[in-house]
Amino acid sequence: MIMDMPTAQPSAQVESAPVETIVVRAARLSPSPTDPVFSIVRLKAEDLQASPRLDEALKAVPGASLFRRTSSLSANPTSQGVSLRAIAPSGAGRALVTLDGVPQNDPFGGWVIWTALPPEGLSGASVVRGAGAGAYGAGALTGVVSLDEAGPDSGYVLDLSAGELGAQRLALSAATGPLLIVGSKEHSDGYVPVRGAKAGAADIRAGLDAWTVSARLQGDIGNAVGALRIGAYEEERGAGLRGANSRVEGQQASLTLVRDARPNAAGWRMQAWVRQSDLANSSAAVVAGRATTTPANEQYETPSTGYGANAAWRWVQPGWSAEVGADARLTDGEVHEKFRYLNGVFTRDRRAGGQTQVIGAYAEASRQMGPWLLAGGARVDRWSASDGFRRERDIQTGAVTLDQTSANKDGIQPTARLGLRRSLGESQWIRSAVYSGFRTPTLNELHRPFRVGNDVTEANPGLKPERLGGFDLAIGGDQAWTWSLGGFVNRISDPITNVTVGVGPKTFPTAGFIPAGGVLRQRQNAGQIDAYGLEAEASTDLTQTLKLRAAISATHARVDGGTTAAQLNGKRPAQTPEVITVASLTWTPVPRLTVNGDVRLEGSRFEDDLNARKLGPATSADLSLRWQVVKGTELYIAADNVTNAKISIGQTADGVDSYGAPRQIRVGLTLRR
């Protein structure tokens, strides 16, 4: 587990000493006094801004990853959900992402549109590993990525870069008085994922065009801080396959009022937010030899809305703290798409969707007893899924071919967490925690079937929430070396998994015809996933000019499919690597020049639930050089995947591999004031 770093080194931090109460100028509460007993990785602004993409920067924390090996540079939006600890990645994501308390997971699918979160607009992040019960609530199954937006005194950051593959990017964060403006514009011609002897004319570049802009107006209201934030984003991207592409757009707004806790005065937060999104996604079937494609379906819109509110009250006194709160999240959305392509036209139209709701309340407390810190809490949530439907009709005649409604479902879910930390003196410590959490199925998992190439995955309106229980233990210190070593044991009950139910060529009820080389899967609650693992980290200043950090995460995860999916018994969850190692070396040969090298080694993983499609080990290396022209002005050159490694990111049923981005060199200019 990653520990506090020397302040001169821009790298990840965790297991910090108990947090002191501070005066908050941003519209958020200070870090909770309960944080030190849990596994929390702190990332600074410079850590996040080391990469133009936030999801890439988060990979400094081993086990933090999207569903697949691809980054958001080329990944389809529906696979950009983030998970922690490599227990069992999911396209919807098994971790909650928040920005100053506002959920950033898509209201329809749970994934995160990372291009809407430019790193330049952030002052830091906290990665909570382990189920985030307490204040975080539903969605924080494997943890939380809590993002902090730049403060009102952050000045401005301007980054301009261009590079190979037609890459162009402009990003700006500017704070002036009470107003913060953040925005970015990005273009990439992209690369061809399938390349080599098996590539065909159907394989093309996976390009990207994206923009985002947000504005926050903040000011003092009596002894509190109020903030109104609005934002919008849009991105269009290709899938690397002729006729397959996606477009996603959205808007969000939030209103926050905060007074931080201080001696003899309670702190509190009240917040309301709304998010709207719309995804269009077209897919294609590939003919033998990959010479061409045939349209498979056209998801032309997915209007969805998420909205919610939360409130918290916190009391902090010498030696103890207490917090109570409540929150509510509601989603409403549906998919509109055309499918069943025959004789050059789509012949069927589908509408499917529904509503979900989670309302909960929690209480947490901490107690400092000499070298001991005890902290924990509990919460209870009521969840529901309602008004589910799926209607299909013949486009030419208008005749209804399928009309299904789903039974409403609801339940009560209690969760809790408890942790204990002891200072061992001389900057050493030991800590342990037990925790539980849950994640409700998204509207996408409940109601939207999808297709990738010749593989089809059916929705399932009967899905139940996933639940996780776990335990972790760690020891560490901060002396000449900053180090930590720990382990965890987790169990996910009723995990939502894409279960293989048949292969083509064959016609199936509801799903229709699956061509040769294709697979039919359905989302199901499949038994349980048991995982245990080790996490270790060490960093030091080797010399005054040379700094080193290395971290490793090793996870052993296996599925017990029970009677629902006995064919999965003993299998590793899809897209789950067993080992991830990251290392970073920073060298400052002269005061104005900084050279940074990063290496990431990842073990093999499987593309599918049956472990039939193996993706081999992957090693990637990045290199950057930054020259400070004058104070606040830097020129840089960066090479991503500097060795031009062929990293397998996907494999079809007929053995065709897709690969990650080749070497890409970028040059840029950064201005800071």
Q: What is the pLDDT of residues 440-490, one digit of tens each?
A: 999 999 998 877 767 888 889 999 999 999 999 999 998 889 999 999 999
Q: Considering the domain boundaries, does residue 144 fall inside one?
A: no
Q: Considering the domain boundaries, does residue 143 fall inside one?
A: no
pLDDT of residue 25: 62
Please give the tally of structural domains in the chain: 1
Q: Which three-class secondary structure state does DSSP give residue 120?
A: helix
Q: What does the pLDDT average to over 548-569?
A: 92
pLDDT of residue 479: 85
What backbone torsions phi and psi does residue 296 show, to the nearest 5 degrees?
A: -105, -45
Intra-chain end-to-end CA distance of the chain, in Å: 34
What digits encode the pLDDT tens for the residues 170-197?
999 999 989 999 999 999 999 999 998 8
Tokens of 249: 């757009």
Q: What does the pLDDT average to over 660-665?
A: 95
CA-to-CA distance for 234 and 288, rounded, in angstroms? 34
Q: How confident is the model at residue 133 (pLDDT cuts 50, 70, 90)?
A: low
Q: What does the pLDDT average to over 560-577?
A: 90
CA-to-CA distance for 555 and 487, rounded, in angstroms? 9
Residue 390, amino acid: R
Q: Considering the domain boundaries, does residue 588 fall inside one?
A: yes
Residue ranges making up the domain that contains 393: 13-137+152-223+238-672
pLDDT of residue 453: 65
The CATH number of the domain holding residue 327 is 2.40.170.20
pLDDT of residue 588: 96
Distance (Å) of CA 517 to CA 119, 149, 206, 298, 652: 41, 46, 23, 21, 8
By the 10 Å C-beta count (0-12 exposed, 13-18 middle, 19+ buried), 543 is classed as exposed
Q: Considering the domain boundaries, does residue 231 fall inside one?
A: no
Q: Considering the domain boundaries, does residue 180 fall inside one?
A: yes
Residue 18 above 80 pLDDT?
A: no
Nearest in space to 229 (alpha carbons), one of 28, 23, 22:
28
The DSSP code sequence of 69-101 is: S--TTTS-GGG--EESTTS---TT-SSEEEETT
Q: Considering the domain boundaries, does residue 294 fall inside one?
A: yes
CA-to-CA distance for 622 and 664, rounded, in angstroms? 10
Q: Considering the domain boundaries, does residue 2 fall inside one?
A: no
Nearest in space to 358 (alpha carbons), one of 181, 178, 598, 103:
103
Residue 6 above 70 pLDDT?
A: no
CA-to-CA distance for 293 and 355, rounded, in angstroms? 35
Q: Which residue has the higher pLDDT, 296 or 581?
A: 581
Q: Considering the domain boundaries, does residue 6 fall inside one?
A: no
Give the whole-number percent of the chain exceeding pLDDT 90.
Answer: 73
Residue 151 above 80 pLDDT?
A: yes
pLDDT of residue 3: 42
Place of tokens 């009521």: 382
